[in-house]
Amino acid sequence: MEYILIIISALLVNNIVLAQFLGVCPFLGVSTKVNTSLGMAAAVTFVMVLATIVTYLIQVYVLDKLGIGFMQTITFILVIAALVQMVEIVLKKVSQPLYQALGIFLPLITTNCAVLGVAILVIKKDYNLLEGVVFSASTALGFGLALIILAGIREQFELMDIPKAMRGVPISLITAGILALAFMGFTGIV
């Protein structure tokens, strides 16, 4: 039951983009087409889960053991950047089609603050490794859900007659705000 609460909370109630405002740059930047949003969502899910596992292990077995927990943020940033680079190199050698599918999104994930935010939240919420993985996967799926919904709406905007002053970023920000309000409707479920 606890895992179901973590999933619902991370996916809908405390959506990383719409409730916690982490990962807003890729949310607004990549959400122009549904296909690119699907690719970004898949890449973020993969990297977020992998980064959570690695950073959790580093926190528990290195930083806490050495009494240098204050180095958490800088360590996590370096680990996530190195991890994304390693994943990119391995994918290029092992699976060229997967590399081509995710390749353009992997460098963007290095600067996605949602990945760092989730890694820190897992430690802050005192989750064990399995709970942390469930939380990070659910959070990444919530990020992807919001990204795909906004991309679908933005594709529909291309077919509409929107006033010139509202085209592009202004209507996207208003839509993101309305999406955030819609997701607030899930508050109280968990």
Per-residue model confidence as pLDDT tens for the chain (190 residues): 899 999 999 999 999 999 998 988 888 887 788 888 888 888 889 889 999 999 999 999 999 999 999 999 999 999 999 988 888 888 788 777 777 766 667 777 777 889 999 999 999 999 999 999 999 999 999 999 999 999 999 999 989 999 999 988 899 999 999 999 999 998 888 7
Q: Which two tokens stand for residue 143?
A: 């990020």
pLDDT of residue 84: 87
Q: Which two tokens stand for residue 126?
A: 């005192």
Distance of CA 175 to the CA centre of its chain: 19
| Domain tally, the chain | 1
pLDDT of residue 51: 95
**Residue 190, domain member (yes or no):** no
C-beta separation of 16 from 22 below 8 A = yes
C-beta separation of 29 from 159 below 8 A = no
**Residue 6, domain member (yes or no):** no
**Residue 96, domain member (yes or no):** yes
**Residue 3, domain member (yes or no):** no
Query: Taking Cα atoms as reference points, which of 143, 139, 147, 123 lies closest to residue 6?
Result: 139
**Residue 1, domain member (yes or no):** no
Residue 36 sits in which domain range?
11-183
Q: pTM of this prediction?
A: 0.89
**Residue 4, domain member (yes or no):** no
**Residue 5, domain member (yes or no):** no
**Residue 104, domain member (yes or no):** yes
